[in-house]
């Protein structure tokens, strides 16, 4: 009965989201409607989580982690481009702010929550340091070449790439992400599978039979509908978000943080559920995989879109952001090396995440 109710609302909510999207498209919304749309948006995100998990369960790890990572990246790219088209010159740093926020949310927020939940419920849950370390190295490399280097290049003023530099970095990012996906789904696939207390890989998520092919296709279709609803409804409420940020005296760059929160909510929920099931490797696959997808797919997409977008594209991080990035990479390295999670590690990651959010509000 519970499963039937759950399946019912996860089927209905994406359709309601699509109807709400049509009803609110290109319209000014009053505060009451904004609240209603926000509730529907949250429900659509939760429904997307459910359907992505169904698909992920069918295809198994590590392919399942890629499903949600690519899905949220589609949301992110669509939302950034939409806001850049409508926002004019105030959005020249939106891509940078959103992508960097995604890195901090995944590598500190999601990782910290997963480590804390996993260690509270399962004492010292284990994960594979070889696969997780490779993912972390890829995140550090992608972030450095796309977001750190433009701060120090001298061909273009204002922490920006020149056209050829942006093209090179976009191609390099796609190649790096493609190489990682090939390794994750190829011969090194076992490095990204969950492990038990003895450190041995677990090939299947054991407690439930995979969904039928019919259920999987239905969930895949509803996942697409939910993602479309999330993108459109997020755009509908974005003016209210921008006005609220401005009214609170918070820098406009915080809009990028809000976008990243919205698109990564499914990842955070899925990673938390995996940690509760003692599948910490899946949680880390989701976290670092989302960070890689956010950079390796979003930056190239924005680079292509910049051909017709008006205004400059600023990608270079500031000094405070670079310091937080260096600290994050160092801490993640120390977290990955032992191959097991502790509560202390989770708390430290969450404190760094809280520091990022606070400094984004009050730089």
Residue with tokens 């109807």: 19
**Which is the CATH superfamily of the domain at 2-361?**
NCX, central ion-binding region (1.20.1420.30)
* pLDDT value, residue 199: 61
3 state DSSP class of 235: helix
Yes or no: say if 126 and 340 are a contact pair by the CB < 8 Å rule: yes
- Cβ-based burial of 243 (10 A; exposed 0-12, middle 13-18, buried ≥19): exposed
Q: Tens of pLDDT along 326-349?
A: 999 999 999 999 888 889 999 999
Q: Tens of pLDDT along 247-299?
A: 878 887 888 888 888 778 877 888 898 899 888 888 898 899 889 988 888 88
Q: Which residues pair with 340 in a beta bridge?
A: 126
- Average pLDDT over the chain, rounded to whole? 84
Q: What residue ranges do the domains of the chain occupy?
A: 2-361
* pLDDT value, residue 108: 95
Given a cut of 60, whether residue 1 has pLDDT beyond it is no
Q: What are phi and psi of 340, to 5 degrees?
A: -145, 155
* pLDDT value, residue 345: 93
Cα 188 to chain center, whole Å?
23
Helix (H) or strand (E) holding 339: none
Q: Tens of pLDDT along 181-213?
A: 888 877 777 777 777 666 666 655 445 567 788
Exposed e or buried b for every residue in 333-363, given b needs 16+ CB within 10 A?
A: eebbeebbbbeebbebbbebbeebbeebeee
Give dist(CA 159, CA 152) in Å, integer: 7
Tokens representing 177 are 């992400």
CA angle 71/67/75 to nearest 5° reads: 5
Cβ atoms within 10 Å, residue 63: 16
Q: Is the N-terminal amide bond of 62 cis, ω within 30° of 0?
A: yes
Q: Quick check: pTM over 0.85? A: no
Helix (H) or strand (E) holding 342: none
Q: Which of 121, 73, 115 is nearest to 98 (CA)?
A: 73
């Amino acid at each position: 009965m519970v499963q039937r109710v759950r399946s019912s609302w996860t089927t209905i909510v994406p359709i309601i989201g699509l109807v709400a999207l049509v009803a609110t498209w290109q319209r000014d919304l009053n505060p009451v409607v904004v609240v209603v749309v926000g509730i529907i948006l949250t429900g659509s995100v939760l429904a997307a989580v459910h359907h992505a998990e169904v698909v992920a369960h069918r295809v198994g790890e590590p392919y399942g982690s890629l499903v949600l990572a690519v899905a949220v990246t589609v949301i992110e790219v669509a939302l950034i481009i939409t806001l850049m088209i409508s926002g004019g010159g105030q959005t020249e740093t939106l891509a940078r702010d959103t992508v960097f926020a995604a890195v901090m949310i995944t590598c500190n927020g999601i990782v910290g929550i997963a480590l804390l939940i996993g260690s509270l419920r399962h004492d010292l849950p284990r994960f594979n340091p070889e696969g997780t370390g490779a993912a972390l190295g890829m995140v550090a490399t992608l972030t450095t070449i796309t977001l750190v280097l433009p701060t120090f290049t001298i061909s273009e003023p204002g922490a920006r790439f020149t056209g050829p530099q942006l093209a090179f970095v976009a191609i390099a990012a796609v190649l790096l992400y493609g190489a990682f996906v090939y390794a994750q789904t190829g011969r090194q696939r076992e490095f990204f599978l969950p492990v038990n207390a003895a450190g041995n890989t677990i090939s299947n998520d054991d407690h439930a039979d995979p969904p039928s092919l019919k259920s999987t296709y239905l969930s895949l279709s509803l996942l697409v509908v939910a993602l479309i609803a999330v993108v459109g409804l997020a755009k509908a409420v974005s003016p209210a978000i921008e006005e609220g940020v401005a009214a609170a005296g918070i820098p406009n760059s915080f809009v990028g943080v809000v976008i990243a929160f919205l698109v990564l909510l499914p990842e955070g929920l899925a990673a938390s559920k995996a940690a509760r099931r003692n599948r910490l490797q899946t949680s880390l696959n989701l976290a670092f995989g989302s960070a890689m997808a956010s950079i390796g797919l979003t930056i190239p997409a924005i680079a292509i879109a910049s051909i017709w977008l008006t205004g400059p594209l600023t990608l270079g991080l500031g000094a405070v952001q670079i310091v937080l990035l260096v600290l994050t990479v160092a801490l993640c390295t120390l977290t990955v090396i032992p191959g097991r999670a502790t509560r202390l590690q989770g708390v430290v990651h969450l404190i760094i995440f809280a520091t990022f959010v606070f400094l984004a509000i009050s730089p």
